[in-house]
Amino acid sequence: MSRQVLMVGGGQPGAFATIGAAIARAEPGATITVQPGRYTERLVVGNRITIAAEPNALVEVHVEEGSVLAVHGEGAQLRGISLSSADPKLAAVDAYAGEAALDGCRVEGAAWVTLLARLQGTIALRNCEVRSSSGAAIVVTAPGASTVEDTVIRDVATSGIVVSDQGSLTLRRCTVERAGANSICVNGDGRLVVEQCEITAAGKPALVVEQRGHARINRLRVRESANVDVFMRGDVDAVVTDSEFTGALFQSVHVAGGAAPTFRGCTFGSAGRSAAHVTGAAKPTFTDCVFTDSPVGVTVEAESTPRFEGVTIRGSSEQAVVVTGAASMTVQRLRLDVTAGVGLLVTSGAGLDGTDLVVDAAGAVALDLRESARGTIRDARFSGTAACCVVVGSGATLALRSAVFDGAGVRVADHADLRLQDTEFADVAGDGLQVGASGAVTASRVRVRRARQAGIRLERGARGAFTDCEVLESGAAGFDVDTAEPVSITRCVARDSGGEDVRQADDARPTITSLTTGRATRPVEPTSP
């Protein structure tokens, strides 16, 4: 059976004068072909018909009041039609039952939303353009599966796309440009899938996932946000992969309110303040991500507990990482280039747990713990040109195991505590290990080679216990003990020093057991007869 074909406009015999008249006569499955022109009428469709512009024709349908298209029943398909409504209250396109399928259409509205999928309605857009002079472009609250593909949403007064309540939406290869508020927002119990989309110049946080929102986002590119690129908070279920966020005025990603999203293979950079900001007891996970070219690479605060695995941080102009406010950061496989400030700054009772860290500090400090901060570092390599690249500040504690220091040493400040194990210092510009007043160090199986000053220096009031350690070829003393506090040196080697192998202040009373000192025995070269 052939499908019914109806004609609108053009003055041809049998053609309908209005699209509405053709809809009234259309059978399910019919096709209505519309000739070029501007049609001022409201379209109400519900019997699974197709309304298509004549090929290469400009067809405009406009209303001053009400929705220009209302879809119910089994839905409808429109192709190549320009739809617009000037109504300040009602959506330009209202899909409340069935599917509104738009292909190659342009939709403009003046109400709080231009295109709405609610109740039992869904939308399916392809190759469309959506604008809104007063509100959001697309709002989906219906639980049915809606899709938007190869579509541009631009010049929107508020949000580009909102998925709320029980809404479900998939975006593929779409662009959202110049949204006055959020470009994409998921809240309530909304569910969103984003694949290969782009967001540019959002007025407020570009991508928002909050409350109980569910989001799976892959290959999203966000640029030039006037606020932040990504904002997540609440009991969200969000996974973002292989995406890029650059040029935000404040932060590339902001995670708060206990949120625990996952980011994999993402790049965050060129933000005005922090590439990543984690606060409010949030617990995100970042895996194989890059944080670059921002004043601060990563900020963690307010009892948050993020996890970073396989991350690279570079190009920070102030600090690379700041952990503060009783937060605790776990990091594995960190590659960090410090260009200014401090690499890892941990302060105000915060904690850092790190494994497999490679930090090139150049002339800066790689790790600085202050104000009762605590740190545990395993399998790390620190390189630098300053006298020290790790500072354990007043009241702080650091446990350091299996570390290598190339070119720069460690300073333990007043009332700080360092536990050092299986660690090597080589070619340090100053003292290999310097312990300040009331500072304490416990070291085992530590080797210090070719420090330009003392290999290990204990200043007045410092305490230390050294077991199975080697201090070799120091420029000054091997062990420089300038304290009357308890110091023990057990089964250690100190030799080839530029000064004394063990220098002691007049009131120093170190306990020394099985210490090897002097010059290393070198083989005698045979002489020619």
Please write the tens of the pLDDT for every residue from 491-510: 999 999 999 999 999 999 99
Element (H, E) at 340: none
Both structure tokens of 142: 């219906």
Name 287's bridge partners: 264, 309
Q: Are 340 and 348 in contact (CB under 8 A)?
A: no
Take residue 469 and report the two structure tokens written for it.
């350690």
Q: Is 219 left (phi over 0), alpha (psi -120 to 50) or beta?
A: left
CA 472 to chain centre: 44
Enter the tokens of residue 480: 């420089």
Q: How far apart are CA 450 and CA 448, in angstroms?
A: 7
Instruction: Report the SS3 class of residue 471.
Output: strand
pLDDT the model gives residue 523: 46
Q: Does the structure show a pLDDT above 70 at 528?
A: no
CB 406 within 8 A of CB 430: no
User: Residue 315 and residue 87: Cα distance in Å, rounded?
Assistant: 50
326-348 pLDDT, tens digit per residue, is 999 999 999 999 989 999 999 99
Q: Which of 265, 257, 344, 263 is nearest to 297 (CA)?
A: 344
The pLDDT value given to residue 108: 99
DSSP-derived letter for residue 225 is -
| Structural domains for the chain | 1-133 (2.160.20.10)
pLDDT at 2: 73
User: Going by DSSP bridges, is the β-strand pair 328-337/312-314 parallel, antiparallel, or unpaired?
Assistant: parallel
- Tracing tokens 């990091």 back to the chain, one arrives at 331
CB 109 within 8 A of CB 132: yes
Rounded CA-CA distance 191/188 in Å is 9
Mean pLDDT confidence for 349-366: 98
8 A C-beta contact, residue 276 and residue 252: yes
Question: Average of pLDDT values for 195-211?
Answer: 99
pLDDT confidence band for 104 (50 / 70 / 90)? very high
Angle at 102 between CA 97 and CA 107, to 5 degrees: 100
Percentage of residues of the chain with pLDDT beyond 90: 95
Q: How far apart are the first and last CA of the chain?
A: 115
CB 47 within 8 A of CB 74: yes
| pLDDT > 90? residue 293 | yes
> Which of 386, 385, 431, 384 minimizes the C-alpha distance to 412?
431
Four-point Cα dihedral 157, 162, 164, 169, nearest 10: 160
> Tell me, what's the pLDDT at 131?
98
- The answer to whether the beta carbons of residues 247 and 271 sit under 8 Å apart is yes
Alpha carbon separation from 362 to 341, 392, 408, 485 (Å, rounded) = 11, 19, 9, 34
pTM above 0.85, yes or no: yes
Nearest to 93 by CA among 305, 102, 436: 102
In the predicted model, what is the mean pLDDT of the chain?
97
pLDDT digits (tens, 9 = 90+) for 35-72: 999 999 999 998 899 999 999 999 999 999 999 999 99
pLDDT of residue 1 exceeding 60, the answer is no
Q: What is the pLDDT of residue 12?
A: 86
Cβ-contact 60, 87 below 8 angstroms: no
Confidence check: pLDDT of 521 > 60: no
Residue 88's identity, in one-letter code, is: P
CA distances from 463 to 412, 473, 512 (A): 11, 23, 14
Amino acid at 238: A
For the chain, the C-alpha Rg in angstroms (whole number) is: 34
Residue pointed to by tokens 């460690």:
410
∠378-381-382 over CA atoms, to 5°? 120
Residues 6 or more apart whose Cβ sits within 8 Å of residue 231: 205, 207, 208, 209, 210, 253, 254, 256
* Torsion sign (Cα): 201, 203, 204, 207: negative
User: Would you say how long the chain is, in residues?
Assistant: 529
pLDDT bucket at 529, cuts 50 / 70 / 90 = very low
Q: Collect all residues with Cβ–Cβ distance below 8 Å to 65 and sequence separation of at least 6.
A: 85, 86, 87, 90
Amino acid occupying residue 287: T
Q: Which helix (H) or strand (E) holds 22?
A: helix 19-25
Residue-level pLDDT at 519:
77
Instruction: Summarize the confidence of residues 430-440 as an average pLDDT.
Output: 97
**Residue 434: is its pLDDT beyond 90?**
yes
The tokens describing 184, both together, are 């994409």
Q: What is the predicted pLDDT for the residue at 524?
A: 40
Here the contacts of 282-285 (C-beta below 8 Å, separation 24 or greater) are 282/232, 282/233, 282/255, 282/256, 282/257, 282/258, 282/306, 283/258, 283/259, 283/307, 284/232, 284/255, 284/259, 284/260, 285/260, 285/261, 285/309
The residues pairing with 448 across neighbouring beta strands, listed in sequence order, are: 425, 471
Q: Does the pLDDT at position 527 exceed 80?
A: no
Q: How many CA atoms lie within 13 A of 397 on its CB side?
A: 8
Cβ-based burial of 495 (10 A; exposed 0-12, middle 13-18, buried ≥19): middle
Give the pLDDT confidence score for residue 11 in this predicted structure. Answer: 86
- Name the band, by pLDDT with cuts 50, 70 and 90, for residue 520: low
Task: Give me 229's structure tokens.
Answer: 């690129």
Task: Express each pLDDT in 245-292 by its tens digit.
Answer: 999 999 999 999 999 999 999 999 999 999 999 999 999 999 999 999
The whole-angstrom separation of Cα 436 and Cα 459 is 5
